Chain A
Amino acid sequence: MNIFNIIKKFYFEIILLIILVIMFQSYWPIWFSGWSDIESPYAFAFFVFAFIVYFIKINYVNLANVPKNPSNKGILLVLSGLFFYVVGLRADINYMVSLSLPVLVGGIIFTLYGTELFKKLLKPLILLTFTFPIFPIHRITIPLQGLSAHLTSDFLNFLGVNSFCEGSIVNVEHYKLSVVAGCSGLRSLITLFFTSIIFTYFIKADKLKKTLFVLFTIPLSIIMNVSRISLVGFYAIYNGYGGLEKFHNDLGIVTSIISMSILVIIAKFIDNDGGKNEA
């Protein structure tokens, strides 16, 4: 199929895409900066985009053969999306504007193609929704910073290192370690959580095992984060503040790799096919 045939076949979808780009023109740069910033809690979005592309690619024939059955019910979803869009933009509620786009896309698919295709695309659409800033994430970040600091301080005391914490600052012997937003563990928690959800698509296992697998990412990310901050504490005791930042950043990469590896091993372990199947 050449480009002209694609344009001819999907001309209306292309028009809609252009309209959506224009409608959300002031938000695209904000969303892109979140997706492309490795420090952002939305950096996992590229995993989701890659998954959606893969999902459509392997299911293309199946999706293309779904009979087109336009539905009036979908208009309700379009109206909900537009309600979020109008109220969000007029009243500066960015979370509502962010939510409006996936709801609108879902509503348009539902209206133009019908229930069956909408149902088939619902899971990737829900995943896509979470790549937009639809929640006030700072409300979780700061309590998580405090929790990480407390657990680290308790863990260090357990290991015999004199430590106490004030809010999100861990005092290790003579050193103060500030558990900043990047160290709250939220970024790794979100990335592991959504990656595990994507993994469940490829694993052959019952629902309970899949749910437990996804939930396992919560203690995993907390344990890995506490270990990371504790190791940073040990580094400070033996080396002082010099090179601490670099050590902390490098350790972040190492803990991410370890966490992801643990996830892959567990995924293979619970998979009835031992990870041989693909979808």
Chain B
Amino acid sequence: MKHKIIILLLLFSSIVLVNVHVNKVSLQAIDVNKVFPHKIGEWVGADYKANEDVYKMVPSKEMLLRVYKNSKTKQEVSLAIVLTDRRDHVHIPDICYSGQGFIFKNEKTVNLSKGRQIVLVSALKQNKKYDIYYWYTDLKDTYSDRVKFLKHMTFSRFFDKLIKCYGLVVIISPHDNKMQTMDFNKKVDLQLTKL
């Protein structure tokens, strides 16, 4: 009988623990395709679709896929943003992009602005060089390290801190124009913090 009572008490206390919140916070499933602008300064974006398989992993509402073109310089960059309330929908980019034929060469951290770091990957696809920039975000800060990001999210969620959503940004551009791509990265980051 003693063991039965202990088990019942433990089960009930765990139900209480998961349902008691300091702040009543729930993550938002932001429809990124609706809220993220098609025009950012000189950059104009056009949506594109991924194959069906991709949407099985991340629903289309949670994922933005656009090619932005600079109206002055005609440079093109490919932008992918995932904003989700599901932690397991934020994947490591090299898993997804290696499937598209990108070979990840080397990876380093670069500064987007003061205190905001992102990752730059040198990649190859069909012998052409590409720069892949990516970072994780909670729409407030940027994170270049997935483990740090998930640790931050775990503690924030566990202690009911005000967090909007899980986010991942991936920007791909041909290797030739780093300055313009960095300018685009900054603009994307700024737009995301406004959401």
Contact = CB atoms under 8 A, between A and B. Distances in A.
Interface-central residue, B56, B86, B126, B155, by most chain A CB under 10 Å: B56
A79 interface: yes
A167 B102 contact: yes
Contact of B98 (A90, A112, A142): A142
Contacts of A79: 10
A125 B68 CA distance: 52
B153 interface: yes
B57 interface: yes
Contacts, number: 99
Majority secondary structure of chain B interface residues (helix, strand, loop or mixed): helix
A174 interface: no
A240 to B, nearest CB: 19
Contact residue range for chain B? 35 or more
Interface-central residue, B91, B95, B154, by most chain A CB under 10 Å: B95
Contacts of A168: 99-100
A85 B18 contact: yes
A139 B2 CA distance: 44
A83 B17 CA distance: 10
Contact residue range for chain A? 35 or more
Contact of A181 (B53, B154, B155): B53
A145 B191 CA distance: 35
A181 to B, nearest CB: 5
B14 interface: yes
B3 interface: yes
Interface of B: 2-4, 6-8, 10-11, 14-15, 17-18, 27, 51-53, 56-57, 85-88, 91-92, 95-102, 125-126, 153-155, 157-158
Interface of A: 12, 15-16, 19, 22-23, 70, 72, 74-75, 78-79, 82, 85-87, 89-95, 108, 111-112, 136, 138-139, 142-143, 145-146, 166-169, 178, 180-182
Given A78-B10, A166-B100, 17 more contacts: A23-B15, A75-B10, A86-B17, A87-B154, A87-B158, A90-B157, A91-B157, A91-B158, A92-B27, A112-B7, A136-B88, A143-B98, A166-B125, A167-B98, A167-B99, A167-B102, A180-B52
